[in-house]
Amino acid sequence: MIVIMKPKSPMEEIINLKQKIEGENNISVNVIQGKEYCLLGLIGDATEVDADKIRANEFVENVKKVQQPYKLSNRLFHPDNTVVKIKNESIGGDELAVIAGPCSVESEEQIVSIAKDVKKSGAKFLRGGAFKPRTSPYSFQGLRDKGLELLKIAKEETGLPIVTEIMSIDMIDKFVEDVDVIQVGARNMQNFELLKQLGKIKKPILLKRGISATIEELLMSAEYIMAGGNENVILCERGIRTFETYTRNTLDLSAIPAIKKLSHLPVIVDPSHAAGIWWMVEPLAKAAVAVGADGLMIEVHNDPANAKCDGQQSIKPKVFQELMEDINRMISVKMNREYEVINV
C-alpha cells in the first residue's frame, strides 16, 4: 500500500502518520520524499490496514493498494490449485466436474428420472433447488423441506452427491446433514452473516457470483467463508447484468482466466443462468471449458415446457447427453494451463 501525502504537508504530520500506521498494524513504513510529493510505502502484509481511515487524514491526498485485499483465496500465498473433495468426487482437479439437474425439485418422479439421465451422460453431481429465490413472491418458491427429502431419494437411487441452494442461516444444520455441496446463490453472495456462519462448517460451498459483483467482490465473499475456517470454496461464474437484454445475463468468460490467475480456488461456469436461453447452453458450456473452467453447472429438465422454474433455459436429457459427448471430445485435447502468481 502506498500513501500519497498532499504537497507541502508538514514533516511532523508525516512522521505522526507513519508512527500511527506502524503502531496500529504489524507493518513498517518507509518515507520517500520526492520533489513535490512525499510517499509512505507500507511494507508487510497490508490486507488488514484500513485504507479509508488513512484517507481520512487531512494531509493525505490518496492511498493506492498494490496488494489484493483478499489473502486466503489469493494464489500469491497458495500457488497450487485447491481441489475440493466431495465424497468420491472432486472439483478443481484434473477432471471437469459437471453438475446437472433441474432448476427446482418438483416431484420424486421428476428428480429421480433426471438424476438417472444426467448420471448416464457423465454428470458427477445432481443439482436441484428445494428453496428457490424467486423475483416474485407469487412464483413457485420450491418444495422446501419436501424438496430436500426428494433430493436424498435421488441420491440414494443414483449415488450422485447433491448440490442445492441455502437461503438463510437457520437452514444450516439441516443442510449440513443432508446436502453434499451447499450453494450460495447470486442474490446471497454478499449476505455476510450467512457467509460467516458457513465459514464455521466444513461442507463445500458453491459460491455464485452476484449479478453486479466484481471479481474482487466475489473473492472477498469467498474470503468471508475462508476466514471462518472453511477452505472448501468453489466459485461460480453465472453471468452478470449488463446493458444487453437479449440474454438473461452476460456470461463473463474473461472472469475464468482472471480468477484462476488471482486465486487458487476452483471456478465453474453456469451457462444456463448466464444465457437464460436453452439453445445457448451448449456453445457457452463449450466456451467455458475452452477458457479453463474447472466444471459446469447445467440445468436439465425432462419436460422444460412444463417446468415450474427456468424451463426456457433448461436443456432436455438428450441434448445434455450430446453436449457431454462433445465436451469429452474437447477435453481429450484440453490445453494444460499453468497459472503463475502475479507479482505485486
**Which residue is at the shortest CB distance from Mn ion?**
103
Choosing among Mn ion, ligand PEP, none, which partner's interface includes residue 185 (Cβ < 5 to 8 Å by kind)?
ligand PEP
Quick one: which of 101, 102, 161, 185 contacts ligand PEP (CB under 6 A)?
A: 185
238 contact, one of ligand PEP, Mn ion, none, CB 5-8 Å limit per kind = ligand PEP
With binding defined as CB under 6 A, does residue 139 bind ligand PEP?
no
Total residues contacting ligand PEP by CB under 6 A comes to 9
Using Cβ positions, the residue closest to ligand PEP within the complex turns out to be 185
Distance in Å, CB of 18 to ligand PEP, minimum? 45
Interface mask toward ligand PEP for 224-243; x: CB under 6 A: --------------x-----
Q: Which is nearer to ligand PEP, 46 or 114 (CB)?
A: 114
Q: Which residue, 103 or 130, is less far from Mn ion as judged by CB?
A: 103
Q: Is 208 in the site for ligand PEP (CB under 6 A)?
A: yes
- Where does this chain touch ligand PEP (CB under 6 A) — which range of 112-120, 149-157, 181-189, 319-327? 181-189
Longest dimension (CA), the chain: 76
Ranges within 89-118 binding ligand PEP (CB under 6 A): 103
Judge residue 125's burial from the number of C-beta atoms within 10 Å of its C-beta, 0-12 exposed, 13-18 middle, 19 or more buried: buried
Query: Which residue among 101, 102, 129, 317 contacts ligand PEP (CB under 6 A)?
Result: 129
Nearer to ligand PEP, 185 or 204 (CB): 185
Kind of pairing, strands 233-237 and 267-269?
Answer: parallel
Is 126 near ligand PEP (CB under 6 A)?
no
205 interacts with ligand PEP by CB under 6 A: no
Binding residue for ligand PEP (CB under 6 A) from 171, 186, 222, 233?
186
Closer residue to Mn ion, CB minimum distance, 44 or 311: 311
| Per CB under 6 A, 273 contacts ligand PEP | yes
Q: For residue 316, which phi and psi values (nearest 5 degrees)?
A: -80, 160
Q: Is the dihedral of CA 86, 92, 94, 97 positive or negative?
A: positive
Q: Say how many C-beta atoms besides its own lie within 10 A of residue 171's C-beta.
A: 19
As measured in angstroms, the least distance from the Cβ of 149 to Mn ion is 20
186 binds, among Mn ion, ligand PEP, none (CB under 5 to 8 A by kind): ligand PEP
Euclidean distance between CA atoms 49 and 155, whole angstroms: 46
Partner whose binding site includes residue 41, from Mn ion, ligand PEP, none (CB under 5 to 8 Å by kind): none
Q: H/E/C letters for each residue in the chain?
A: CEEEECCCCCHHHHHHHHHHHHHHCCCEEEEEECCCCEEEEEECCCCCCCHHHHHCCCCEEEEECCCCCCCCCEHHHCCCCCCEEECCEEECCCCCEEEEECCECCCHHHHHHHHHHHHHHCCCEEECECCCCCCCCCCCCCCCHHHHHHHHHHHHHHCCCEEEEECCHHHHHHHHHHCCEEEECHHHCCCHHHHHHHCCCCCCEEEECCCCCCHHHHHHHHHHHHHCCCCCEEEEECCECCCCCCCCCECCCCHHHHHHHHECCCEEECHHHHHCCHHHHHHHHHHHHHCCCCEEEEEECCCHHHCCCCHHHCECHHHHHHHHHHHHHHHCCCCCCCCCCCCC
Chain positions contacting Mn ion, by CB under 5 A: 103, 310
| Nearest approach, Cβ of residue 309 and Mn ion (Å) | 6
Q: Nearer to ligand PEP by C-beta: 14 or 298?
A: 298
Nearer Cβ to ligand PEP, position 260 or 273? 273
List of residues contacting ligand PEP (CB under 6 A):
103, 129, 133, 185-187, 208, 238, 273
